């Protein structure tokens, strides 16, 4: 017997991972892909380290009586039930930046392979065919490449392609033009990028807003010579539209590492010679795997020592006052709502914390706000470590403001930002009752009281009769159920705000129909999932 914390390695991890854990733990091993072996093995451990084969679901979590940390040695968390872990008070950590170089290099590799017909030429040669003239390719030199999403991976791709002598343009509504210019990148809108690009590489997060972003209408605006690469997330590029564009010669070629449904082994795209495809290999390098293992081993050490864990994706460790902890998830949601309402990043962002909570150190709430603000903006995982760096990279000045005086609420958290045109956006929330229920209590100066559920929407319009009924009717016709609704106005007959919580994401065409029907001054949908 030992009093040392027990760490279970459920998959093969590098020796460097075990070395990073150090001598303070009892290390055990099991085959996590075998449920009959996993469930008894996880019963009395403090932490489990996995890759992608082990499913840490509700059943596994229920069997783990002592579990404090689930560590995924990689970026994705598809095999970890984060919600169930959170409900069980189990921290989930991953390695959000371990694969960024590997992912960037694969995007460049796919671009070169597609440009030079490497895949079909290789296949022909293996079949005994020498087809030099058929597989003539094109150079990258002095061509224009459009980077869709200028996050960390997008920046790395831009840097590498600049070295090829390419002209780099980019579309990213959350990056300031000055910041892009410093990197030698010209910011453009998506239509301009599509019409000017000879090559195009996608580096966006997968969100309700980016799903299907590159579809038939967008591909119709591209040059016939376009080579499109997607090594980011499946579903951002509409695969049916891409197939049609490639089949008909609407665009020239594509390099794909990700697909809408994975594993994907049977796609019409695989039948085309002008497609080079890989089975989601973005993070599959020795270096990325080792970086991931070392990173999560360090996080496990921090977590089991009771210290702050920067890469935790759900519950945070560290020396944080008990009165502050419930405000962390609320503040992160407020950050997400702020970005959704603003539609862009601010130049100045203030995180205002008022009330009794300010007797404690509330710096963690500033980090939580930034994590929320950037969660749907960048492709890479946002953590407490990289969120301030992301703000600095994008020219967002951040300030934490505290005040013990809170006239209307015991505690109040407000995220207030100044946009490039001088407009101010604000959202406020609080926790109410003995169960500390989350409430959204203000948006852009309008007083409301609504639960910040997974799917929200905000409409502003001129106050007049019948508008609430119109909104309800259109949502009903679209089979979108309203969970909560609040109407606020600045004056009778003035501007009004409708805040909605709904049970499912509102389709884009439904939002457009509502905007037209009520002559909305602004309309924003925010999905927190």
Q: Active-site residue numbers? A: 233, 262, 280
Alpha helical stretches, state H, 32-140: 35-41, 58-63, 82-87, 100-115, 118-126
- How many Å apart are CA 292 and CA 206, to the nearest integer? 21
Would you say the C-alpha torsion 202, 207, 212, 213 has a positive or negative sign?
Answer: negative
Q: If you count them, how many residues does the chain have? A: 529
- Tokens 């998830």 correspond to 329
How many whole angstroms from its chain centre is CA 214?
Answer: 18
Q: Phi and psi of 441, rounded to 5°?
A: -115, -5
Query: Buried b / exposed e across 468-490, counting CB within 10 Å, b at 16+?
Result: eeebeebbeebebeeeebbbbbe
- How many Å apart are CA 102 and CA 281, to the nearest integer? 9
- How many Å apart are CA 22 and CA 43, to the nearest integer? 22
Task: With CA atoms as reference, report the closest residue to 429 among 454, 450, 401, 445.
Answer: 450
Q: Where are the strands (E) in 236-344, listed by range?
A: 253-256, 275-277
- Whether the link from the prior residue into 263 is cis, omega within 30° of 0, is yes
365 vs 143, 262, 318, 430, CA distance in Å?
45, 36, 13, 13
Asked if 2 and 26 touch (Cβ cutoff 8 Å), the reply is yes
- Tokens 């005040």 correspond to 403
Q: Phi and psi of 47, rounded to 5°?
A: -150, 150
The encoded tokens of residue 500 equal: 């909605």
Write the DSSP assignment of 282-295 as a string of letters: TT-SHHHHHHHHHH
Q: Phi and psi of 5, rounded to 5°?
A: -60, 145
């Amino acid at each position: 017997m030992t009093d040392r914390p027990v760490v279970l390695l459920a998959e093969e991890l590098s020796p460097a991972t075990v070395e990073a854990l150090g001598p303070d733990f009892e290390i055990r091993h099991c085959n996590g892909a075998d449920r009959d072996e996993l469930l008894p093995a996880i019963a009395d451990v403090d932490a489990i380290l996995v890759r992608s084969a082990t499913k840490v679901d509700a059943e596994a979590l229920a069997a783990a009586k002592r579990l404090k940390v689930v560590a995924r040695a990689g970026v994705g968390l598809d095999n970890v039930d984060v919600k169930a872990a959170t409900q069980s008070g189990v921290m989930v950590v991953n390695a959000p930046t371990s694969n960024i170089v590997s992912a960037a290099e694969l995007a460049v590799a796919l671009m070169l392979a597609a440009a030079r017909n490497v895949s079909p030429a290789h296949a022909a040669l293996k079949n005994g065919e020498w087809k030099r003239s058929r597989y003539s390719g094109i150079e990258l030199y002095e061509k224009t490449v459009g980077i869709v999403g200028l996050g960390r991976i997008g920046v790395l791709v831009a840097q590498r392609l600049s070295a090829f002598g390419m002209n780099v343009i980019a579309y990213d509504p959350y990056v300031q033009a000055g910041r892009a210019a410093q990197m030698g990148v010209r910011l453009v809108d998506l239509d301009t990028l599509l019409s000017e690009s000879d090559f195009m590489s996608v580096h966006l997060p997968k969100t309700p807003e980016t799903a299907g972003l590159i579809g038939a209408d967008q591909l119709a605006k591209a040059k016939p010579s376009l080579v499109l690469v997607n090594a980011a997330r499946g579903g951002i590029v509409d695969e049916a539209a891409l197939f049609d564009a490639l089949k008909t010669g609407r665009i020239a070629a594509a390099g794909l590492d990700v697909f809408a449904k994975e594993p994907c082994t049977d796609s019409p795209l695989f039948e085309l010679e002008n497609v080079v495809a890989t089975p989601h290999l973005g993070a599959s390098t020795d270096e990325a795997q080792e970086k991931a293992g070392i990173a999560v081993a360090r996080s496990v050490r921090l977590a089991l020592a009771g210290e702050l864990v920067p890469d935790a994706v759900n519950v945070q460790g560290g020396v944080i006052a008990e009165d502050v902890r419930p405000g962390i998830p609320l503040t992160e949601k407020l950050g997400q709502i702020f970005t959704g309402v603003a539609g862009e990043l601010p130049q100045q962002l203030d995180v205002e914390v008022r009330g009794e909570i300010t007797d404690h150190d509330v710096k963690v709430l500033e980090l939580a706000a930034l994590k929320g603000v950037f969660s749907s903006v960048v492709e890479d995982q946002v953590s407490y470590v990289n969120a301030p760096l992301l703000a600095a990279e994008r020219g967002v000045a951040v300030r934490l403001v505290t005040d013990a005086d809170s006239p209307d609420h015991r505690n109040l958290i407000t995220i207030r930002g100044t946009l490039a045109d001088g407009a101010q956006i604000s959202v406020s929330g609080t926790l109410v009752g003995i169960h500390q229920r989350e409430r959204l209590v203000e948006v852009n100066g309008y007083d409301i009281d609504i639960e910040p559920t997974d799917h929200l929407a905000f409409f502003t319009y001129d106050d007049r009769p019948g508008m609430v009924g119109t909104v309800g009717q259109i949502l009903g016709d679209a089979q979108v159920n309203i969970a909560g609704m609040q109407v606020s106005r600045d004056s009778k007959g003035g501007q009004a705000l409708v805040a909605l919580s709904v049970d499912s994401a509102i389709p884009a065409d439904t939002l457009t129909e509502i905007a037209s029907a009520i002559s909305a001054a602004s309309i924003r949908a925010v999905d927190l999932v």
